[in-house]
Amino acid sequence: MESSLLNGWGIDPAYIIIALAVLTLVLLVAVLVCIGQYRKLYRRYDIFMRGKDAETLEDTIEGLINETDFLRSEDRAVKDLVKSMNKKLRASYQKTGIVRYNAFKGMGGNLSFVLALLDDNNSGFILNSVHSREGCYLYLKDVDKGQTDTILGSEEKEALEQALGY
């Protein structure tokens, strides 16, 4: 019995049977691999769900959601605190310059000093302490954005330049 379709193609039926057998073996191996992966996944799922009922799992999920909400609010509070502290830090004196000097040659020792304190905007003050035999005199000069309205002595200029980072 001859098939007119197979004769038209010119293919031997034995080749078709061999090809289908190989394809069947490949598909059988693929099915076995899938079954193995399914069993492995089922074991992991069974371990995950063992001892837990749906209510306990739901409580666990709700607890995690509540904890996440709490942590988000705490994070917001910490960020606000950091912003507040940064504002205070910029307003505080953070740049300093100090120069010790001998105001009067006969006194001995560098007992006089100039102290420059500046904030982030280079505003602050210069404190000049002049020590003499009669007493100690303090002079305060304002600094605004690195500039002063009054004339500075050489030690005061040096302390201001130290504070400005020159």
Same structural domain, 39 and 19: yes
Same domain? For 46 and 14 the reply is yes
125: left (phi over 0), alpha (psi -120 to 50) or beta: beta
Tokens of 164: 């400005």
Contact 156, 141 (CB under 8 A): yes
pLDDT in tens, 2-56: 556 666 777 777 888 999 999 999 999 999 999 999 999 998 887 777 765 656 6
If one counts every other C-beta atom within 10 angstroms of the C-beta of residue 128, the result is 22
Query: Quick one: pLDDT at residue 52?
Result: 59
- CA–CA distance, 121 with 163 (Å, rounded to integer): 12
pLDDT at residue number 108: 66
Helix (H, G, I), strand (E, B) or coil at 84: helix
Angstrom distance (rounded) from CA 77 to CA 25: 64
Same domain, 111 and 150: yes
- Residue 6: per-residue pLDDT: 64
Same domain, 41 and 20: yes
Tell whether 121 and 160 lie within a shared domain: yes
In this structure, are residues 115 and 98 in contact, taking their beta carbons and an 8 Å threshold? yes
Residues 102 and 146 in one domain: yes
Distance, in Å, from the CA atom of 71 to the CA atom of 65, rounded to the nearest integer, reads: 10
Q: Tell me, what's the pLDDT at 21?
A: 97
CA distances from 1 to 4, 6, 7, 19 (A): 10, 11, 11, 22
Residues 81 and 118 in one domain: no
> What range does the domain containing 130 cover?
95-164
151: pLDDT confidence band, cut at 50, 70 and 90?
confident
Q: How many residues does the chain have?
A: 166
Domain count, the chain: 3
Burial 79-110 (b: 16+ CB within 10 A, else e): eeeeeeeeeeeeeeeebebebebebeeeeeee
pLDDT digits (tens, 9 = 90+) for 73-123: 999 999 999 999 988 888 788 888 998 888 777 666 778 899 999 988 888
Q: Is the pLDDT confidence value at 1 over 70?
A: no
pLDDT at res. 54: 59
Model confidence at 72, pLDDT cuts 50, 70, 90, reads very high
